[in-house]
Structure 1
Amino acid sequence: MKFENVYFITGTAYAGKSTMVKMLAEKHGGIECGENYHDALLPELDKEDFPCLTYTRDLVDWRDFVVRTPDEYERWVDGVSKECEILELRILEGIADKGRPVFVDTNISLETLGKITDRQHVLIMLAEPYISVSRFFDRPDREKQFLYQLLMAEKEPEKALENFRKCLMRINSPERNERFANSGFTVIRRDENRTPAETLELVEKAFGLDKEHFSR
């Protein structure tokens, strides 16, 4: 299926993807598919078909989550992304033809995006790798604070925290950042001196929405 009315934003953590998806949907009367919107399907997933997504759903001892090695964490994250792609495509097929633009904070791979939509409907937003690691626990998200408390409850909390930071560094590595940057899609890099409104203007220009108007 070719998505003609869907706009995808992908990239690295803390680059502003969710904020832009929300602002775009509000301004252009569109449908917002924000971060982890596929979670709506999580309760019905079969763990045999979606072992990575159901890992946290069915987890009994959350300590197992925070003490994994960087290799284990990276394999899980990559597995989650592949499984999320299946769910996202399933959801988007049901809403893409509703007559409204759809704005997506997506996990869909660059390879798949190149097949299902026009190049101008894909935007990559990047933050420097160190930001994704150093600011992970800065947000008041309940999930992140829960993980932080788990790490602090370990017998050697500083050692546990350092291991978890290594996990984060693995999935926010310069190599992954460069892979996005060299993909051929339009890239917008995080700039601390730029306001959300100014970033929105850049995003609209990248998508061609500065010239296109949607009816509400």
Structure 2
Amino acid sequence: MREIVFDTETTGFDPKSGDRLVEIGCIEMVNRVATGVVFHRYFDPERDMPAEAEAVHGLSTAFLTGKPKFAEHAAELLDFLGDAPLVAHNAAFDFGFLNAELAACGLGPVSLDRMVDTIAIARRKHPGAKLSLDALCSRYGIDRSHRTKHGALLDAELLAQLYVELLGGRQIGLELAADATGSDVVPEQAAHGPVNRPFRSPRPHSPSEAELARHGAFMAGFGDPLWTRG
């Protein structure tokens, strides 16, 4: 199954008030394993960057001026996303900005039916706990020492690791029986996605008559063993 884990950085909190998306980072996962294929872009918001937002992600007006406009990469982004489920932390925020930018380009929105919110998953799994990306990475032992500021691609990479942990870790997808099609292969989780290997029926483990006889002869060779004493 193909999924996209993504994160955005913006000029603020509300696209309806004129805030814009300035960075997007997307990580492709297949069967909950990162493939190494990413989509990462910075965008010129065509407005000043508020100091409060710059303090969070470090993206200044000077840095973003002259970067491509969102509309220049909208088609490429949609092609990358395809029809895969989209995983984000506090996903309503990221979907809100993504769909606002698409609307400004005259394009239709990404359906909210595709939204997978890791905060909602974490809230069900850890009610009452802190749900920030930092707090959850600490809970699951995910190294975030290189995260001095927010960054869309960096945060997406951390979130991809967290998403796997929230869903049970690397055992997800491991199958120990023949697949539903009845074929004689077993899907197995591997570094490069699922691979097919022959299914082998369990071997009998009960000793044969010959083995029992050999064992009896071996045991008879002990003279006055401790386990026979009363």
What TM-score, normalized to structure 1? 0.30
Task: Judging by fraction of residues, say which structure has more helix.
Answer: 1
TM-score (norm 2): 0.29
The structure with the largest strand share of the pair is: 2
Q: Which has the larger radius of gyration?
A: 2
